Structure 1
Amino acid sequence: MKTPLLLGLAACAAVLAAPAFAQTVKVDPALHNEALELLKKGISFRTVVPGDQVKPYAEYLKSVLVKAGYRPEEVKIEAVAGSSILVARYPGTDPSKKPIVVIDHMDVVEARAADWTRDPFTPVVENGYVFGRGAVDDKFDVSIVVTVLAKLRREGWKPGRDVILALSGDEETQQQTARKFAGDLKNAELVLNGDGGGGQLSEEGKPLGYGIQAAEKTYADFQIIVTNPGGHSSRPGKTNAIYQLAHDLERLEAYRFPVMTSEITMAGFKATAPVVPGPVGEALRRYVANPKDQAAIGALSADPDFVGQLRTTCVATMIEGGHATNALPQKVAANINCRIFPGVSSEAVRATIAQVIADPQARIERQNDGAIDAGASPLRPDVLAAVTKAVHARYPGLPVVPQMSAGATDSMFFRALGVPAYGVGAVFMKGSDDFAHGLNERVPLASIDGALFQWESVLKDLAK
């Protein structure tokens, strides 16, 4: 799940449009074409899960790495949870150093050809974009990283520590493949994730800022379930499962989880507060000055760009119930989707929901959503320096902002094991071009050269 850049930088476009940041990076056209071909070929694999194309895609990527000089035994493909993982080890010169792990995912969400302007699994290059399912989420960064690792192997680069590429095969569904390799690679020094972070462009194509994802909210689905004996609809009584659940949901709707802050969210707020315009910007500046300012909290909570950065949120997303139009309902259930602030356990949130709805007859059950509780990663100076250096080579002086994403990525499995993980995706794109998970997904060709430079620069700096 490719997550967007932090809190409202797009809303700052008018303020940040000057000065314009010109991209200064130049890349060998042959390397550009290599990455583009890898991306196009990748899109053509229908890596939807359930399905049977993740393994063939992994085998294709392995062939690219082996051709570049990897030994076949250094690139392993393993069947896991109805999908596959790929783990490739680039050996370093100092075995005493812990490895760096680069992660991303090979699978994509479903796409029906009848709904798209173009076949979603036939790559099309048109009007400065590559169209196709996975073009952004996340075969772009997979293709860039594989291209860079192949180039470095051909050139004989000798990293100080091992660099391990680990690609999952079910990130968009149950995330069991990443859970598997996180356990296998829990001795890593740190993790770099292409499926998080990234750069934002204004609608005029000018860069606004770059976000490093250092935390993500825990994903959790809970069901509130109400049951009673039911009966004939001609004999309504004092109890009705639908009405009972409706009252439970009203109480939950009115509740607000406590406001929370972290090193990462405050760093992001402080970086963007000076440039966010209008009443929201004023509220943000007041909040930075005083995180207990209730008026500022209220204003930010009403803004969709900021509400998810302030607190845990839980919202009803699905409802089902009843068994006949002429019968009193025997069972009614609502799905509650929660995005939980790092450091808060999902069980604590479940207990809070139970306390808020105050309905002893309702059951609250955690669903099999595949997520895991995980805290934030520290803002390591070496990671911040390496990423800032690479981004500034692309766009000198561009703001680089720590971020907490509201969406979930495979990084959570490493963070839960105490391994710091950072989303350092290399795409720069407009908000209006972001069709990840949607129709006619596309990625700008103009991002390829800078992304190739960025990944190579970051790897060389951190794998010493």
Structure 2
Amino acid sequence: MRTPRALGSAAAATLVFCAGIGLAHADTTTAALPETMAMLKHAISIPTVEGEHQVPVLAAYLADKLKAAGIPAGDVEIIPVGETAALVARYRGTGEGKPILLSGHMDVVAAKRQDWTRDPFTLIEENGYLYGRGTADMKTAVVVLVETLIRLKREGFKPRHDLILLLSGDEETAMASTRELAKRYHDAEFLLNADAGGGTLNPDTGKPALYQIQAAEKTYADFRIALTSPGGHSSEPTADNAIYRLARIIDRVASYQFPPQSNEITRASLRALGAHTPGPLGAAMTQFAAHPDDATAAATLSADPAYVGQIRTTCVATMLNGGHALNALPQSASVNVNCRIFPGTPVDSVRDTLVKVIDDQSASVTVLQPPPVASPASPLRQDVIAAVTDAVHARYPGVDVVPGMSAGASDSMYFRNAGVPSYGIDAAFTKPDDTFAHGLNEKLPASEVAAGLEFWHRVLVQLAE
């Protein structure tokens, strides 16, 4: 998963890590980061998409880098999971506190060369951006995490907490490797996820607007609504047509809106966003944050695809299947309805609502496997907020740092479900809808590599020492 980000240049006083050299002042160009960029170039070149069996290849490459930097081989493990794999690396501390988990994923969404302007699996730097599948979601962040552990090792850093890097291999699909990691590593202080949260820049001015710490995410669930009918010859149409009945059901689902909901995280996020968003949308954010029962404000937010998921459970048709022959009446028809469920709302209650909305007793409504995972909001830990705020303000002094909720799903949900407080803290600042994660010509501002290295070093030193 990758939520919208924003682009920006590091402040003049920002310190960045130059591989093999240490710290340098004010240089945020990728040319100052030869080791990091070589690693990122290689990572992008490995097509870690579902079915290509390439995630273990990337895992082995990253494992070798960590071991070469001095992480003991016994503290680096590749866990095979089907055709994919997870990578675990433990940076040992003094053992005075529970481990701090660092989360990311090595897999990427598929990309077809013929659809892209550039080769999606070749890292290209152009006009201040890095192009390639995984630049935004999320091989850049994975490389930054690996490089940060390497830097800490070179510096001889001895934290109180072990730092355990957990890189999953199928976050974009089945999340089987994530489930395995959560089973093994749930006795932890908290988890920091580089695949969520992050900074937003004003799309008009390019100035930093705010930074969000992801402290909650919605529950992901797929429901299959299916119908059957006797079928027959297409030259003798009947009223009992499974496709027609399904079409009416889809219309009912499309017309229904779940009631508005909020919690302290979403209200704080909307309050901060409202201060930086002009016009009726910003006013609605401010009003809803203060008065979540305001129907007019809720309607304005719900009309915007970027914000409807912040205030409601959403369900949308995503796939259709129907009929068995071109010249026969359909004997079956089905639709997949994908729901993103507001934290604290039971999955069964959403299913019950869908049953009422479709209003057709002949339809079956089934929750698809794997079973949905409830993802309760994480408590707002002051130590995490303070460390992230310090790192953000080192680059952009005074920028608001607020909690936020992801409308999508990330690896954090399995750890939250296992009782591990989890926080999305992607280092990047980007403009909304500027990265094209999951889409064509994915890109990331080149400035975010150096900024990410400094951000993660500051955060980990402060939280783990």
TM-score normalized with structure 2 length: 0.93
Quote the offset at 1:276 in angstroms: 2.1
Quote the offset at 1:340 in angstroms: 0.6
Equivalent-residue separation in structure 2 for 1:353 and 1:332 (angstroms)? 17
Q: 1:358: which partner in 2? A: 359
Equivalent-residue separation in structure 1 for 2:58 and 2:325 (angstroms)? 47
Q: 1:120: which partner in 2? A: 120
Question: Are the aligned partners of 1:251 and 1:356 in contact in 2 as well (CA < 8 Å)?
Answer: yes
Quote the offset at 1:431 in angstroms: 3.1
Question: Are the aligned partners of 1:75 and 1:87 in contact in 2 as well (CA < 8 Å)?
Answer: yes
Equivalent-residue separation in structure 1 for 2:234 and 2:271 (angstroms)? 58
Question: Are the aligned partners of 1:85 and 1:177 in contact in 2 as well (CA < 8 Å)?
Answer: yes
Quote the offset at 1:456 in angstroms: 0.7
The number of equivalent residue pairs is 452
Partner deviation per Cα, 1:295-332 (whole Å, 9 max, x = no partner) = 22222211222211111010112222122333221101
Question: Are the aligned partners of 1:314 and 1:338 in contact in 2 as well (CA < 8 Å)?
Answer: yes
Question: Are the aligned partners of 2:4 and 2:431 in contact in 1 as well (CA < 8 Å)?
Answer: no
Q: 2:110: which partner in 1? A: 110
Question: Are the aligned partners of 2:315 and 2:340 in contact in 1 as well (CA < 8 Å)?
Answer: yes
Quote the offset at 1:288 in angstroms: 2.4
Q: 2:239: which partner in 1? A: 238
- Name whichever of 141-150 and 311-320 sits farther off: 311-320
Question: Are the aligned partners of 1:176 and 1:370 in contact in 2 as well (CA < 8 Å)?
Answer: no
Partner deviation per Cα, 1:79-102 (whole Å, 9 max, x = no partner) = 01321111111111134x210000
Secondary structure of 1:191 counterpart: strand
Quote the offset at 1:417 in angstroms: 1.0
Aligned: 1:298 with 2:299:
yes
Counterpart residue identity of residue 13, structure 2 = T
Secondary structure of 1:433 counterpart: coil
- Name whichever of 320-329 and 42-51 sits farther off: 320-329
Equivalent-residue separation in structure 1 for 2:122 and 2:285 (angstroms)? 44
Q: 1:409 to 1:328 in 2, by over 3 A?
A: same
Q: 2:198: which partner in 1? A: 198
Q: 2:47: which partner in 1? A: 46
Equivalent-residue separation in structure 2 for 1:369 and 1:4 (angstroms)? 27
Aligned: 1:207 with 2:208:
yes
Q: How does 1:393-432 map to 2 (within 5 A)?
A: 393-431=394-432
Q: 1:461 to 1:439 in 2, by over 3 A?
A: same
Question: Are the aligned partners of 1:21 and 1:206 in contact in 2 as well (CA < 8 Å)?
Answer: no
Q: How does 1:241-260 map to 2 (within 5 A)?
A: 241-260=242-261
Question: Are the aligned partners of 2:10 and 2:447 in contact in 1 as well (CA < 8 Å)?
Answer: no
Q: How does 1:59-98 map to 2 (within 5 A)?
A: 59-95=60-96, 97-98=97-98
Partner deviation per Cα, 1:51-93 (whole Å, 9 max, x = no partner) = 2211121111111111111111110111013211111111111
Quote the offset at 1:115 in angstroms: 1.9
Question: Are the aligned partners of 2:215 and 2:379 in contact in 1 as well (CA < 8 Å)?
Answer: yes
Counterpart residue identity of residue 56, structure 1 = V
Q: 2:16: which partner in 1? A: 27
Counterpart residue identity of residue 437, structure 2 = A
Q: 1:319: which partner in 2? A: 320
Aligned: 1:161 with 2:150:
no
Equivalent-residue separation in structure 2 for 1:37 and 1:245 (angstroms)? 52
Secondary structure of 2:183 counterpart: helix
Equivalent-residue separation in structure 2 for 1:131 and 1:278 (angstroms)? 33
Q: 2:282: which partner in 1? A: 281
Question: Are the aligned partners of 1:175 and 1:370 in contact in 2 as well (CA < 8 Å)?
Answer: no
Quote the offset at 1:346 in angstroms: 2.1
Question: Are the aligned partners of 1:25 and 1:449 in contact in 2 as well (CA < 8 Å)?
Answer: no
Q: 1:370 to 1:58 in 2, by over 3 A?
A: farther
Equivalent-residue separation in structure 2 for 1:257 and 1:440 (angstroms)? 34
Equivalent-residue separation in structure 1 for 2:238 and 2:303 (angstroms)? 39
Secondary structure of 1:55 counterpart: helix
Quote the offset at 1:28 in angstroms: 4.2
Counterpart residue identity of residue 119, structure 1 = D
Secondary structure of 1:264 counterpart: helix
Partner deviation per Cα, 1:91-134 (whole Å, 9 max, x = no partner) = 11134x21000010011111122222222112222332222111
Equivalent-residue separation in structure 2 for 1:341 and 1:256 (angstroms)? 13
User: Structure 2: where are the runs of 5+ without partners?
Assistant: 23-32
Quote the offset at 1:34 in angstroms: 2.2
Equivalent-residue separation in structure 1 for 2:376 and 2:277 (angstroms)? 28
Question: Are the aligned partners of 1:21 and 1:207 in contact in 2 as well (CA < 8 Å)?
Answer: no
Secondary structure of 2:191 counterpart: strand
Equivalent-residue separation in structure 2 for 1:372 and 1:230 (angstroms)? 37
Q: How does 1:112-191 map to 2 (within 5 A)?
A: 112-191=112-191
Q: 2:30: which partner in 1? A: none
Question: Are the aligned partners of 1:21 and 1:397 in contact in 2 as well (CA < 8 Å)?
Answer: no
Q: 1:271: which partner in 2? A: 272
Equivalent-residue separation in structure 1 for 2:185 and 2:433 (angstroms)? 37
Question: Are the aligned partners of 2:4 and 2:430 in contact in 1 as well (CA < 8 Å)?
Answer: no
Equivalent-residue separation in structure 2 for 1:149 and 1:370 (angstroms)? 35
Equivalent-residue separation in structure 2 for 1:23 and 1:290 (angstroms)? 41
Quote the offset at 1:268 in angstroms: 0.5
Question: Are the aligned partners of 2:267 and 2:288 in contact in 1 as well (CA < 8 Å)?
Answer: no
Q: How does 1:415-454 map to 2 (within 5 A)?
A: 415-431=416-432, 433-454=434-455
Q: 1:456: which partner in 2? A: 457
Equivalent-residue separation in structure 1 for 2:131 and 2:42 (angstroms)? 12
- Name whichever of 204-213 and 141-150 sits farther off: 204-213
User: Structure 1: where are the runs of 5+ without partners?
Assistant: none
Quote the offset at 1:21 in angstroms: 8.9
Question: Are the aligned partners of 1:148 and 1:452 in contact in 2 as well (CA < 8 Å)?
Answer: yes
Equivalent-residue separation in structure 1 for 2:371 and 2:56 (angstroms)? 21
Q: 1:155 to 1:275 in 2, by over 3 A?
A: closer
Equivalent-residue separation in structure 1 for 2:284 and 2:113 (angstroms)? 45
Counterpart residue identity of residue 409, structure 1 = S
Secondary structure of 1:402 counterpart: strand
Q: 1:435 to 1:274 in 2, by over 3 A?
A: closer
Question: Aligned-pair RMSD on alpha carbons?
Answer: 2.0
Partner deviation per Cα, 1:368-420 (whole Å, 9 max, x = no partner) = 36752211111111111110110000111112121111111100000111111
Partner deviation per Cα, 1:125-152 (whole Å, 9 max, x = no partner) = 2332222111111001111111010010
Counting aligned pairs with the same residue, the percent is 51
Partner deviation per Cα, 1:140-182 (whole Å, 9 max, x = no partner) = 1111111010010111100001110010011111001011011
TM-score normalized with structure 1 length: 0.93
